[in-house]
Structure 1
Amino acid sequence: MLELKSLTKCFGANMAVDNVSFHIDRPMMIGIIGASGAGKSTLLRMMNRLTPATSGAVRFEGQDVLALRGAGMRKWQSECAMIFQQFNLVPRMDVVSNVLHGTLNRRSTVASLFNLYPQSDIHRAIDILDRLGIAGHASKRAEALSGGQQQRVAIARGLMQDPKIILADEPIASLDPMNAQVVMEALRRIHDEDGRTVIANLHTLDTARRYCDRVIGMRAGRVVFDGSPEQLTTGAARDIYGADAGFSESATSTSIDALERPDRAPIPA
């Protein structure tokens, strides 16, 4: 379905992503974890074609993603939706119009300039907002919503693209625990109900263990762990973060003890 082969990105002498290879053979929810600067965000941005790769390959259903140009690249970016930590909404625009921006890649320039949307798209946008529990805010300005609500608007905008893959770059990094739980549950439902692959960069180990089917750990641009949440042992976590025996909650905003429980501990409200 999706294959990365020896994907590399250099910024001058700095190797941000170093020879990363993995493949996904069926829809699943994947968490990518690692310390700041491990290369997680750069990796997702290369997959979405927001950042050019230095070398390597990204293939989706046999298609060479890195070779796409023009309309082909825009089509790929529609099929591979990106959700950002800072939401990237238009603050003074109403919620439903922000969601409708997810259709820009398939609309004419004139329609885009004058914000002309077919009724079918408007109804679909409201249906998606309702699915995410925020349809009641459709007419409000995006800036009037809480951070968690704005992130759900951003997810709704991504769903308007009808993507096959959703890439989420630290989608809960700026949210409080309650809103983080709501957003992660929304992403998990999208995977479970729609069969879409979701790949999320995460900054807490307990979140990755609770919501993801597979966890990829990165350190200094390289993949150093790739396994199930149950395989994310204390030793594996220390290796991912380059930590010694003093590795603790302060490193990842989660307790190391949570890694040693066989169940996936819920995020505290």
Structure 2
Amino acid sequence: MLTIEALTRRFGRNTAVDSVSLSVDRPAMIGIIGRSGAGKSTLLRMMNRLTDATSGQIVFEGRDVTALKGAGKRAWQSQCAMIFQQFNLVPRMDVVSNVLHGTLNRRPVLATMFNLYPDADIHRAIGILDRLGIAEHAPKRAEALSGGQQQRVAIARALMQDPRIILADEPIASLDPMNAQIVMDALRRIHEEDGRTVIANLHTLDTARRYCDRVVGMLHGRVVFDGTPEQLTTGVARDIYGADASFTEDSTSTAIETLDRGTVRALREAEAAV
């Protein structure tokens, strides 16, 4: 289905993603974890072709995605939808129009400029919003909604593309726990009910364990773990987050200061789980 072979991205002298190889042979919900700067977001952006690879290859059902240009590239970005941490909605535009933007890649430019959409697309957009529990907000401006509601609008926009793959870059990082659960429940349901592959960058081990069938750990641009949530032990978490093997809850403040908050939280979650 999807094969990533030795995918690499360099920015000057810095290597953000270093020879990553992954294979997805059937629809799955996959979580990518790692400390800040591990290369998670760059990897997803390369998969969607928002960022070009320096070297390596992405192959989807026998087609070389990294070689696509123009209309072929846009068609791939419809098949491989992207959801962002900051939603990327048009704040002053109504919710249903934001969702309809998921059809832009296959619509005439003039129709888009005048915000003209077929009735069938409008009904479909409202149906998707209803599925996500926010149909009543369809006529409101996107900026009037809460963060969790805006993220569900972003998910609806992605579904409007009818994608084979959904990429979610830290989709719950800016949300409170209740809204984070609603968003993750929605993504899991979309995977199970629609048979779509969902690949999400996640900032907590608990979320990856709860929602994902497979977890990929990255460190310094490389994949250092690829397995099931049950295989994500404390020792593995230390490898992924690059912590010293002696790290414990009572570690000195000096040791803690060398790690970002997400890393410390992830390690403590791992220790609490065993």
The code of the aligned residue for 1:227 comes to G
Residue of structure 2 in register with 1:24 after alignment: 24
Contact 1:170 1:201 (C-alpha < 8 Å) held by counterparts: yes
Residue of structure 2 in register with 1:256 after alignment: 268
Structure 1: how far apart are the matches of 2:248 and 2:143?
A: 38
Structure 2: how far apart are the matches of 1:123 and 1:75?
A: 23
Contact 1:34 1:240 (C-alpha < 8 Å) held by counterparts: yes
Deviation by residue 1:30-85 (Cα, 9 ceiling, x = unmatched): 00000000000000000000001000000000100011011100000000000000
1:186 to 1:75, Cα distance in 2 relative to 1, 3 A: same
Q: Secondary structure at the match of 1:59?
A: strand
Structure 2: how far apart are the matches of 1:254 and 1:145?
A: 30
Residue of structure 1 in register with 2:105 after alignment: 105
Contact 1:203 1:252 (C-alpha < 8 Å) held by counterparts: no
Residue of structure 2 in register with 1:236 after alignment: 236
The code of the aligned residue for 2:164 comes to K
Structure 2 gaps, min length 5: 250-260
Residue of structure 1 in register with 2:55 after alignment: 55
Greater Cα shift, 160-169 or 244-253: 244-253
Q: How does 1:159-170 map to 2 (within 5 A)?
A: 159-170=159-170
Q: How does 1:70-85 map to 2 (within 5 A)?
A: 70-85=70-85
Measure how far apart 1:28 and its partner are. Answer: 0.2
Residue of structure 1 in register with 2:258 after alignment: none
Residue of structure 2 in register with 1:4 after alignment: 4
Deviation by residue 1:219-260 (Cα, 9 ceiling, x = unmatched): 000000000000000000000000123255862535635566
Greater Cα shift, 126-135 or 241-250: 241-250
Greater Cα shift, 190-199 or 246-255: 246-255
Residue of structure 2 in register with 1:265 after alignment: none
Number of aligned residue pairs: give it: 262
The code of the aligned residue for 1:112 comes to T
Contact 2:203 2:262 (C-alpha < 8 Å) held by counterparts: no
Greater Cα shift, 248-257 or 157-166: 248-257
Structure 1: how far apart are the matches of 2:164 and 2:238?
A: 33
- Segments of 4+ moved more than 4 angstroms: 247-250, 257-260
Contact 1:206 1:259 (C-alpha < 8 Å) held by counterparts: no
Structure 2: how far apart are the matches of 1:151 and 1:3?
A: 28
| Superposition TM-score, scaled by structure 1 size | 0.95
Structure 2: how far apart are the matches of 1:88 and 1:176?
A: 18
Contact 1:233 1:260 (C-alpha < 8 Å) held by counterparts: no
1:194 to 1:57, Cα distance in 2 relative to 1, 3 A: same
The code of the aligned residue for 1:90 comes to V
Residue of structure 2 in register with 1:266 after alignment: none
1:30 to 1:247, Cα distance in 2 relative to 1, 3 A: farther
Structure 2: how far apart are the matches of 1:68 and 1:255?
A: 40
Structure 1 gaps, min length 5: 263-269
The code of the aligned residue for 1:253 comes to R
Residue of structure 2 in register with 1:246 after alignment: 247
Q: Percent identity?
A: 77
The code of the aligned residue for 2:157 comes to R
